[in-house]
Structure 1
Amino acid sequence: MNEKQHIENIFHKHSHESRIDYRIRSNAFVDCIRFLLRQGLVFRGHDESEDSSNQGNFLELLQFLDAPGNLKVTSPKIQKDIVNATAVETTDAIIRDMDDSFFYILIDESCDVSVKEHMVVMFRYIDNKGCVIERFIGIEYVTSTTTKSLKASIDTLFSRHKLSMCRLRGQGYDGASNMSREFNGLKTLIMRENESAYYVHCFAHQLQLAIVGLAKKSLIGAFFTLVSNVVNIVGASFKHRDILRDKQALKVVEELKH
């Protein structure tokens, strides 16, 4: 028997070549994923069939890069796993950059299209070069927006990243009662654990309230009310949209004649 043709050697050779090919393909789709994440672009397309003229950003980018082999990583589950791994590595890099320094937490609440409540979390800190850095940490799902639920989510977040509440030096929220209430608000619960975590009403929210109050007392308020009514009326019916387009087209034609 020719030793070079032994089944074990052949199997080992093919296994080694397969690992190299897999690494090449993996680098290709990881580069695609990094690009899409950096640009904030969606992965999936409406029609990813072979006959589709646009299979979505991920598949189209893979084809553009001419990724070799049949391994295209088209499974949504695999894509989500890689995206999740990227998010974990990015968050760990931010925590390492903080280097156990004092930091400030910024929180806002929002709900997605499925009407699930989420808590958006950001950290502000000073790096080793003395620069003020703000970093988005993540979106935490919360069962409710009560004070206790938000506090429990923050404790879970701190525990996950091995952060100490005693390093917290500030809190920034909007003026909602569950956030800024004097006796049972989120800021009060945190300050009971750390008196140095001073609360500051979010300046962006203060500016928004000031602009809204000013707009209500001027023609700007009437303008936005009119725009809102037009959007609601036109957006509620395809017929209304067609009528608006026809009227606008006639107006453009008349203006061009003059």
Structure 2
Amino acid sequence: MSKRKKVDAFFKKKDVSNLEIKILVAVETNVDTSMSDEHPSKCSRIQSEEIDHNPGSRKQICEFPINKQDEIQRTYLKEGPYQPENIDYPYNNDTHRRRFQVSWFESHRGWLEYSPSVDAIYCLPCYLFGKKPIGHPGSDAFISTGFNNWKKVSERMNCPLICHVGKDPNSPHKIDVKCCEDLKNYSQHIVKLIEKQTSKELENNRVWLKTSIKCARWLAFQACAFRGHDESLDSKNRGNFIELIKFASTFNNKVASVVLEIAPRNAKYTSPTIQKEILHILASNVRNAIREEIGDAKFCILVNEARDESKRKQMAIILRFVEKNGFIKERFFHVVHVRDTTALTLKNEICVVLSRYNLHIENIRGQGYD
């Protein structure tokens, strides 16, 4: 099983312009849900001597190993009923000299088989999916023993061939025919249905995750608050992030069908944890873009200490450098929470940040502090 992708896998870098840093959040939306309706053939693993197309001499399905029966059944279905036509059908021994008629293949096409070795007819679906032969007279005529009482075959309703098919939609023969159709129709197999359902879930996950990412980008670009004082379902204002998702869903029916209350409770992608993770990835991509913009150029650092709303001490780091076209740039690079504002603490945190992004201290050509 492949390793599950993290949210970071949805982001890709884009070339940085001279005026601003743009982050491209690329979400994979093209899901390959096209699956072949043809079941992969397993017939090559079956020995050719195990398959006998003559219904009068072949083994019963129950005599094959249980782990091979499904492959055997599929092989017989692929070949179809055994219907030899260009042969001389023998007469029986009664006074009326009756014999098998090739026209019966046409009137009962799809299931009727003939065995030249025993001069008898069989039913392929009943052979494949019928109950295990029990040896009672007449009960296994079209499965194991064969039927060859030609004088009873006629076009009337009491014809043994018509009676074998049965009028009841749930007759044993029709049930076996339905089993053959289900075996051939691989697109309806439970495994295929699960694959389709899983692909649909992946597509929906990408839609509402992409919506959350775009909304988070817009709020971050506009420097707007994400959270609201009351984010419950009864609230008239659930905060900028959720309200922006609701606003986006009004213009896109596909988004409206998967986000917020319609999404699974364990995968809404609107929780504070998800918001912070998206912002963390955006910030990481911005810093990586700034690092690429600096390249091997010399740079200066500007450091300032302040406190946030929670009274936590934090250090802001700004990089000043000359980019490749000769223009001076100043980029807000990082905010680091520190336990105190002593020189040693600030020095250690600055070194950690610069080394994390492979910015060498020997390339510093200026320092500015408050």
Smaller-chain TM-score bracket: 0.5 to 0.7
Tell me which residue corresponds to 1:35.
218
Q: CA deviation at 1:114?
A: 2.6
Q: Does 1:85 align with 2:265?
A: no
Tell me which residue corresponds to 2:341.
145
Does the CA-based 8 Å contact 2:302-2:367 persist in structure 1? Answer: yes
TM-score, normalised relative to structure 1: 0.65
Higher helix share: 1
Aligned length: 174
Once residues 29 and 50 of structure 1 are traced to their aligned partners in structure 2, the CA distance between those partners, rounded to angstroms, is 18
Tell me which residue corresponds to 2:272.
76
Q: CA deviation at 1:124?
A: 0.6
> Superposed, which structure 2 residues align to 1:44-55 within 5 Å?
44-55=227-238
Tell me which residue corresponds to 1:179.
none
Tell me which residue corresponds to 2:120.
none
Q: Percent identity?
A: 37
> Superposed, which structure 2 residues align to 1:160-239 within 5 Å?
160-174=356-370
Once residues 367 and 198 of structure 2 are traced to their aligned partners in structure 1, the CA distance between those partners, rounded to angstroms, is 54
Q: CA deviation at 1:63?
A: 0.5
Deviates more, 1:21-30 or 1:80-89: 21-30
Q: CA deviation at 1:53?
A: 1.0
Tell me which residue corresponds to 2:192.
9
> Superposed, which structure 2 residues align to 1:232-251 within 5 Å?
none
DSSP-derived class of the 2:310 partner: coil
Once residues 189 and 338 of structure 2 are traced to their aligned partners in structure 1, the CA distance between those partners, rounded to angstroms, is 59
Q: Does 1:128 align with 2:324?
A: yes
DSSP-derived class of the 2:269 partner: coil
Once residues 54 and 25 of structure 1 are traced to their aligned partners in structure 2, the CA distance between those partners, rounded to angstroms, is 21
Tell me which residue corresponds to 1:113.
309
Gaps of 5+ in 1: 175-258
Once residues 231 and 316 of structure 2 are traced to their aligned partners in structure 1, the CA distance between those partners, rounded to angstroms, is 32
Q: CA deviation at 1:104?
A: 0.7
Q: CA deviation at 1:8?
A: 1.1
Does the CA-based 8 Å contact 2:208-2:269 persist in structure 1? Answer: no
Amino acid at match of 1:31: K
Does the CA-based 8 Å contact 2:300-2:321 persist in structure 1? Answer: yes
DSSP-derived class of the 2:218 partner: helix
Once residues 115 and 128 of structure 1 are traced to their aligned partners in structure 2, the CA distance between those partners, rounded to angstroms, is 40
Amino acid at match of 1:29: S
Gaps of 5+ in 2: 1-182, 250-254
Once residues 312 and 232 of structure 2 are traced to their aligned partners in structure 1, the CA distance between those partners, rounded to angstroms, is 31
RMSD of Structure 2 on Structure 1 (CA) = 1.2
Amino acid at match of 1:171: Q
Q: Does 1:157 align with 2:353?
A: yes
Q: CA deviation at 1:129?
A: 1.5
DSSP-derived class of the 1:114 partner: coil
Q: CA deviation at 1:115?
A: 2.3
TM-score, normalised relative to structure 2: 0.46
Amino acid at match of 1:101: A
Amino acid at match of 2:361: M
Larger radius of gyration: 2
Tell me which residue corresponds to 1:63.
246
Q: CA deviation at 1:143?
A: 1.5
Q: CA deviation at 1:26?
A: 1.7
DSSP-derived class of the 1:109 partner: strand
